[in-house]
Structure 1
Amino acid sequence: MEQRAVAKRMRVFIIIWLGQLVSLVGSGLTSFALGVWVYQRTGSVTDFSLISLFTTLPLVLVSPFAGAFVDRWDRRKTMFYSDLGAGISTIAIALLLFSGRLELWHIYLATAVSSICKAFQLPAYTAASTTLVPKEHLHRVGGLTQMGQSVAELASPVLAGILVVTIQIQGVLLIDFCTFCFALITLLIVKFPKYESTNVDAIKKSSLLGDISSAWHYITTRTGLLGLQIFFAATNFLQGIVEVLATPLILSFVSPAVAGSILSIGGSGMLFGSIVMSIWKGPKRRVNVVFGFLFLNGLSMIVAGLRASPALFTLAVFLFCYGLPMINGSNQIIIQRKVPLNLQGRVFALSKMISGISFPVAYLVAGPLSDYIFEPLMAVNGPLADSIGQIIGIGKGRGIALLFIVIGTLTMIATVIAYQYPRLRRVEDEIPDISI
C-alpha cells in the first residue's frame, strides 16, 4: 500500500478514534454520576452493583446476533446508529430526571439499551479499523484503541466527581449527549474504504442464524483460536472478582480520598501500557504477550493481598493495569490478522460473548465469597487468624486480601496450564494471515 494512501487511511482512523474517545469519556461521566445517584437514593450496594450487571449482561447476550448484522451492514452506518441509540437513552434519562420522574428501573433499562448499542458498535469499530490500515500498523490501532479506553477510565471519575458537585447530574447528562453528537459528526465527515468480499452474494442470501453458525464454525474448527477465548473466559472470571472487590479492599485500610488517589495513580498503568503498545510492535507471536502479562497480572493480585500497604497496593494496581491493554490489544490483533474481513464482525462479537460471559457470573459471586467465606476466615477470632493471619494480617478486609492471593495464584496456574497446550501456543502459526 502506498505511503500516501496509508497516511490518508490513518487520518481517517484518527478522526474516528477521537470521536469515540470523546464519547467514551462522556459515557464514563454518566456512568459515574448515575452510580452516585443510585447509591445516594437507595444506600444499597446491591442496587449499585446491578448497574454493572446491566452494563455487561446485555452486551454479552446480544453480541453474536450483533456481529452477524455488522457483517451484513455498512460498518460506518452501524457505528453511527449505535452511537445515536446510546445518545437517545441518555437524553431519556435526562428528561425523566428534569421532570422529577426518574426511577431506579429507568436507569437499569437505559443502561441495558446502551449496552445493546455497544454490542453493535464494538465489532463494527474493530472490524472497520482492519480495513483502514495495513497489517504492519495494526499494533498502532490496537494501542490507540486501548489508550482511548484507558483515558476514559482515568479521566471520567475525576471529572464526574467535580462536575456532579458544580453542575449536578443534569449537567453531566447534557455533556454526555454533546459527546455523542461529536462522535456522530466524526462519522459523518469520513468515508470508510471498500473491501472486497468473495462471499457477498452468500452473505446476502444466508440467514441470521446461518451467519452466527458460520462464525461459530470458524472459531471451533480452529482449536487454538477457540482455546484462546476459553482461556480468556477463565481469567476474566477471576479478574471480574478482583475488579469488584478492589475498592472494598483498599477502603479497609485507607480513607476514601487516599483510595481515589491510589486507584488513579495505579490505573495510569493502563495509559502507559496503551502508549507502549502503540509504539512497540511486539514479538512475532502475540499470544506470548497474552501469556506473559496474564502471569504478571496474577502476581500483581498476590502482591495486592500481602500487606495493608498503600504503596504496595499502588504498585500492584499499576502493574495489573499496565498489562490490560497489552492483553486485550494482542487478542484484537490476532483476530484482525487471522480472520477474513467479511467474517470479522461476527467473530469479534462471538469471541466477546465467549470470553465475556464469565464477567456477570463474577459480579454475582464476588460479594458472597467475600462476606460469607473469606472475611469470616480472617476475622480476629477466625479459623485462619493464627496461621495465615500471622502473615497477611487479620480483621476487616483481610479476607478479601486472602481471596486476592488465591485468585492471583489461580491466574498464574491457569496461564501455565494454557501455555502447555500446543494448539493455543501456536495459534498464530497454524492460522495463515489474511491479505489486507
Structure 2
Amino acid sequence: MNAVKTFHHILLNTLIANVTTSFLWFALTFWVYLETRDVALAGVLNALYMGLIAVGSIFFGSIVDHNFKKHVMMFAAVATLGCYLLSAVVWVLFVDPASIGFDDAALWAFALLVLLGSVVEHMRNIALSTIVTLLVPEGERDRANGLVGTVHGASFLVTSVIAGSAIGWLGMEITLWIALALSVAGLLHLIPIKIPEQEILSAAEAEARAATVAASTPREAGAPVEADPEGVSISRGIDLRGSLKIIRGVPGLLALILFTCFNNLIGGVYTALMDPYGLELFSPQVWGLVLGISSLGFILGGMLVAKFGLGKNPVRTLLLANVLVALLGMFFGIREWWWLYAGGICLFMLLMPAAEAAEQTILQRVVPFRQQGRVFGLAMAVELAANPLSAVIVAVLAQAYIIPWMNTPAGQETFGWLLGAGTTRGMALMYFISGLIMLVVVLLALVSRPYRQLSRYYATHQQDLGGSAQ
C-alpha cells in the first residue's frame, strides 16, 4: 500500500472515530439540557470537555512524538472503548434518568467517563497532523489538510443528524449502545493499517549511536558530534522547554498561537450558548438536522481547500477567514429568525476548514517533524485553555443575569433596536459583543509586525518528508 492510499485509509478511520466520540458527546449534552433546561450545567460540561482537551494535549503530543503513530491510534481506540464500556456499567447500575440534576453523583460519573473516552480520541487528531507531514509531499499539504477538514465536516454532519435524532427518538440508553458498536467497528478497521514510520530513539540512545558512528568515522578536529542521526525521531520526554524554544525560534509563531488562544477565549461564548440557543428555536430532532445540514458547509469548505489550496500565504488566509467569522458572530443572532441562525452556522462551517488547514499547514512547514507532536499539543493546549474558563463564565452570566435582564423592559429599551424581541435576546447580545471584539483584534493582527515576520519565514523555509514516502 503506497503512502497516499495509507493516508486515505487513516482518514476513513478518523471519520469513524470522530463520528463515534462526537455522536455520544453531542447526544449527552443534548440529553442533559433537555432533561434539566439548565444552561449552566450544559455550559460546565462543555467547558470540562474543552478543558480536558487543553490539559491533555500537552501529554498527548509527547505520546505522539515518542511512539509510532499506529500505536498511538490503537491506544486511543482501545482507551475510548474502555471508557465507554465503564460508562455503560454506570448507566445500567446507577443513573436514574427521571431525577438527574447538577448534584447527581451518578450523572457526573456517567458524564465524566463519556468525557474521558471522547477526549482521549483527540490524541489521534494530533497524530493525524504529524502523519500529514510524514506521508504527504509539502506542496500538497494544504490540500491534504483540506481533506482532513472534509472528514471533520462529514463526521459533524453525520453526528449532528444522528445525535439529535437518537436522543429525540431512541433515548440516551440506546444511543450509548450504538456508540459502543461504532467503537468496536473503528478498532477492527484500524488494526490492519500499516504506517511507514521513522525509527524512534530516546535521547540517550541517539547520543550513543552518534558517538559510535563518530568513533568509526574520520572527522576534522573540533567538529561537533551529531546527536540527531537522520532517519530517526528523537524522544526527549515532554520537553516543554524545547517546544517553547522551537516556537520562539520561528518569528511570529508565538503571536499566531496567542492570537488563536484569544479567539478561543471569545469562542467560549459560542461553546456555552450554541446548543441552548438552537434548542430554543428548534426541537432536538430538528436542531440535530439543522446542525447536520449546516455542516455541509464544512464539507464544502474542506473540498474547496483540497481542490484550490490556501494560496501562497496561509497566514493571510487564516486572518481573512477570521474577519468573516467575526462578522458572522456579530449578526447571525441579531434577530430571532431560524433561517438567519442556521444560515450563519452554515457559513461559519464553510470558513472553518480554511482557517484550520491554514494553521496546520503553517506548523507542518515551520516546526521540525520530530517535535511536531509536542508543538501541536502545546499549541492546542494554549489555544484551548481560555475556552473552558470563558464558557463557564458565559454560561453562568447568561443564566443568572444577561438572559433575565434582556427579558425586562429595561433590557428591551436598551438593546431592542439592535436585537429585536424574543426569549433568546440575552444570548444574542453576548454573540454580538464577542464578534465585535474578535473583529477588532483580527484587523489589528493584519497590520502587525508578527504577521509580516511569519509570512516571510513561511515563504523561505520548507520541510518535505512526504516526498520520500511516495
TM-score, normalisation: structure 2: 0.82
- The equivalent of 1:419 in structure 2 is 446
- The equivalent of 2:316 in structure 1 is 288
- The equivalent of 1:224 in structure 2 is 252
- The equivalent of 2:86 in structure 1 is 92
- The equivalent of 1:201 in structure 2 is 206
Q: Which has the higher contact order (CA 8 A, sep 6+)?
A: 2
Distance 1:330 1:12 in 2: 23
Deviation at 1:243, TM superposition (A): 3.4
Distance 2:282 2:94 in 1: 37
- The equivalent of 2:457 in structure 1 is 430
- The equivalent of 1:391 in structure 2 is 418
Partner amino acid, structure 2, of 1:241: V
- The equivalent of 1:186 in structure 2 is 189
Picking from 342, 354, 373, the partner of 1:345 is 373
- The equivalent of 1:4 in structure 2 is none
Unaligned runs of 5+ in 1: 1-6
Distance 2:148 2:110 in 1: 28
- The equivalent of 2:212 in structure 1 is none
Deviates more, 1:134-143 or 1:182-191: 182-191
Summarize the alignment of residues 11-160 of structure 1 with structure 2, pairs less than 5 Å apart: 11-39=5-33, 44-100=38-94, 103-115=106-118, 117-160=120-163
Deviates more, 1:95-104 or 1:364-373: 95-104
Distance 2:348 2:83 in 1: 33
Asked if 1 retains the 8 angstrom alpha-carbon contact of 2:243 and 2:375, the reply is yes
Deviation at 1:223, TM superposition (A): 3.8
Structure 1 residues 163 and 91, CA gap change in structure 2 (3 angstroms): same
Partner amino acid, structure 2, of 1:379: N
Summarize the alignment of residues 303-318 of structure 1 with structure 2, pairs less than 5 Å apart: 303-318=331-346
Matched, 1:273 2:301: yes
State the structure with more CA Rg.
2
Asked if 2 retains the 8 angstrom alpha-carbon contact of 1:124 and 1:345, the reply is yes
Asked if 2 retains the 8 angstrom alpha-carbon contact of 1:54 and 1:115, the reply is no
Deviation at 1:339, TM superposition (A): 1.2
> What is the RMSD of the two structures over their aligned residues, measured on CA atoms?
2.8
Distance 1:163 1:281 in 2: 36
Deviation at 1:127, TM superposition (A): 0.8
Distance 2:29 2:404 in 1: 29
Deviation at 1:255, TM superposition (A): 5.9
Structure 1 residues 156 and 190, CA gap change in structure 2 (3 angstroms): same
Asked if 1 retains the 8 angstrom alpha-carbon contact of 2:21 and 2:118, the reply is no
Asked if 1 retains the 8 angstrom alpha-carbon contact of 2:28 and 2:111, the reply is no
Deviates more, 1:39-48 or 1:384-393: 39-48
- The equivalent of 1:406 in structure 2 is 433
Distance 1:263 1:205 in 2: 42
Partner amino acid, structure 1, of 2:206: D
Structure 1 residues 351 and 378, CA gap change in structure 2 (3 angstroms): same
Q: Give deviations 1:90-110, integer Å, cap 9, x for gaps.
A: 111123333456821322331
Structure 1 residues 376 and 174, CA gap change in structure 2 (3 angstroms): closer
Partner amino acid, structure 2, of 1:333: T
The number of residues matched between the two structures is 428
Distance 1:119 1:192 in 2: 19
- The equivalent of 1:375 in structure 2 is 403
Structure 1 residues 11 and 207, CA gap change in structure 2 (3 angstroms): closer
Deviates more, 1:403-412 or 1:33-42: 33-42
Partner amino acid, structure 2, of 1:282: L
Structure 1 residues 231 and 435, CA gap change in structure 2 (3 angstroms): same
Asked if 2 retains the 8 angstrom alpha-carbon contact of 1:55 and 1:111, the reply is no
Unaligned runs of 5+ in 2: 97-105, 208-227, 466-470
Partner amino acid, structure 2, of 1:418: A
Distance 2:90 2:335 in 1: 46
Q: Give deviations 1:67-117, integer Å, cap 9, x for gaps.
A: 123211111101111111011111111233334568213223313432552
Asked if 1 retains the 8 angstrom alpha-carbon contact of 2:87 and 2:114, the reply is no
Deviation at 1:36, TM superposition (A): 4.7
- The equivalent of 2:241 in structure 1 is 213
Deviation at 1:297, TM superposition (A): 0.6
Distance 1:70 1:79 in 2: 9
Picking from 161, 164, 175, the partner of 2:178 is 175
- The equivalent of 1:335 in structure 2 is 363
Distance 1:163 1:364 in 2: 27
- The equivalent of 2:100 in structure 1 is none
TM-score, normalisation: structure 1: 0.88
Distance 1:119 1:261 in 2: 25
Q: Give deviations 1:342-401, integer Å, cap 9, x for gaps.
A: 01111110110111111101211112332455435533411x533532232245222222
Q: Give deviations 1:174-194, integer Å, cap 9, x for gaps.
A: 332332233333332122123
- The equivalent of 1:241 in structure 2 is 269
Distance 1:311 1:305 in 2: 10
Distance 2:79 2:452 in 1: 40
Q: Give deviations 1:411-430, integer Å, cap 9, x for gaps.
A: 11110111122222441422
Asked if 1 retains the 8 angstrom alpha-carbon contact of 2:234 and 2:370, the reply is no
Distance 1:420 1:114 in 2: 42
Deviation at 1:126, TM superposition (A): 1.5
Partner amino acid, structure 1, of 2:385: I
Deviation at 1:152, TM superposition (A): 1.8
Partner amino acid, structure 2, of 1:13: F
Distance 1:326 1:296 in 2: 12
Distance 2:451 2:69 in 1: 30
Distance 1:307 1:40 in 2: 23
Structure 1 residues 285 and 364, CA gap change in structure 2 (3 angstroms): same
Partner amino acid, structure 2, of 1:201: A
Deviates more, 1:234-243 or 1:308-317: 308-317
